[in-house]
Chain A
Amino acid sequence: MAAATLTRVFSALADPTRRDIVARLAEGDATVGQLAEPYQMTLQAVYKHLRVLEDAGLVSRPHGPQPRPVRLETAVLTEMETWIERYRRRAEQRYRRLDALLATMSHTEDKDGADDVNDH
């Protein structure tokens, strides 16, 4: 996924209503009317949120008979998770190096009770 796409996904999800819409669609497809029900906003406003989610590739509204259901596109979310997981693994690699260093620090302290550790 290009960085620009990821940016659109993040900013689409920065809004609490849109996050709520995504969370509800995770449980199954819904019509725009059903999605709008719990909100104190015009249908127009809900359509606007859906357009942002659509532009980010997070939801789609497949063509077909009315009312067209809104569907969550999980592939985009999965890709975002992949990026975050990659970042997490890099942090883990870094902390494993820190584990190894800390182990030598404990060892040195056990041995001679030194307060400081020499770099060797």
Chain B
Amino acid sequence: MSTTTETAIEADPKLPIIRITREFAATPGQLFRAHTDPALFARWVGPDAARTRIEHWDARTGGSWRYLTRLGGTDYAFRGCFHEVRPDRIVQTFTYEGEPDGVALETLWFEDLGGARSRLRSQTLVDSFAGRDAWLASDMETGVSDGYATLQRMVDDGAV
């Protein structure tokens, strides 16, 4: 889409943090709804080849969420808490249930750029540099590791 700018990313060298910035041809209100309305959220969270099923969703300060991502015949479960939900920001936790000790703290900011445009900024803090590396390597951002899914397929096919 010509009206959007590509995603920018920054891995902080001092802290296990990943920062992402992206502009959208939408109001902050629309961006906020796309992040808090479960039916809308399930339509874009992805990955492309996956189906997302929302199991629980309470997008309010102090609420929580859980969803399943079905990919290659396998369900991957994710859950977390909505720590703070406001029109201009969401603070939440994110956990892959396969590795429940790894909890990421994510802050999203919705900034109004005027003219029905807005900027989404996100900051993801994990518990260690090792945790961030695993995060970068394992596709936790979209939920599922390609390698993991491939391995799962191999197991399913009796190849392993």
Residues of chain A within 8 A of B142, CB atoms compared: 90, 93-94
B20 contacts A91, CB within 8 Å? yes
Q: Are B44 and A98 in contact (CB under 8 A)?
A: yes
A105: CB under 8 A from chain B?
A: yes
Contacts of B25 in A (CB 8 A): 99, 102-103, 106
CB–CB A119/B39 < 8 A: yes
Q: Tell which of B6, B13, B26, B141 has the most Cβ of chain A within 10 Å.
A: B13
What's the nearest-Cβ distance from chain A to residue B134, in Å?
Answer: 6
Query: Least Cβ distance of B69 to chain A in Å?
Result: 12
Interface flag for B33 (CB, 8 Å): yes
A75 at the interface (CB under 8 A from B): no
Number of A-B contacts (CB under 8 A): 108
Among B45-53, B79-87, B93-101, B150-158, the stretch in contact with A: B45-53
Q: Which size bracket describes the interface of B in this complex? A: 35 or more
Does B1 lie within 8 Å of A93, measured CB to CB?
no
Would you call the interface of chain A mostly helix, strand, loop, or mixed? Answer: helix
Residue of A nearest to B31 (CB): A102
Q: Is B43 an interface residue (CB 8 A)?
A: yes
- In the complex, whether A14 has a CB less than 8 A from a CB of chain B is yes
The answer to whether A92 and B6 have CB atoms under 8 Å apart is yes
Among the listed stretches A4-12, A28-36, A60-68, which one makes contact with chain B, having 4 or more residues with CB under 8 Å of it? A4-12
A34 to B101, CA, bound (A): 44
Residue contact B14 to A10, C-beta cutoff 8 Å: no
Q: Specify the main secondary structure of chain B where it touches its partner.
A: mixed
In the bound complex, residues from chain B placing their C-beta under 8 Å from that of A117 are 33, 37, 40
Docked complex: A1-40 residues within 8 A CB-CB of B: 3, 6-7, 10-11, 13-14, 16, 19
Taking the closest CB of chain B, its distance from the CB of A81, in whole angstroms, is: 9
B45 / chain A contacts, CB cutoff of 8 Å: 94, 97
Q: Which of A64-120 contact B (CB under 8 A)?
A: 83-88, 90-103, 105-106, 116-117, 119
Contact A93 B13 (CB under 8 A): no
Contact of A93 among B39, B48, B130, B133 (CB under 8 A): B48
A102 and B24 contact, CB distance less than 8 A: yes
Which 8 A-B residue pairings sit nearest by Cβ, starting from the closest? Answer: A119-B39, A97-B44, A102-B26, A88-B9, A92-B7, A10-B129, A6-B133, A98-B44
A-B contact pairs, 26 of them (CB 8 A): A3-B134, A6-B136, A10-B129, A13-B13, A14-B13, A16-B14, A19-B13, A83-B136, A85-B9, A86-B136, A87-B18, A87-B136, A87-B141, A91-B9, A92-B22, A93-B142, A94-B46, A95-B22, A95-B120, A97-B45, A97-B48, A102-B26, A105-B26, A105-B40, A106-B116, A117-B37
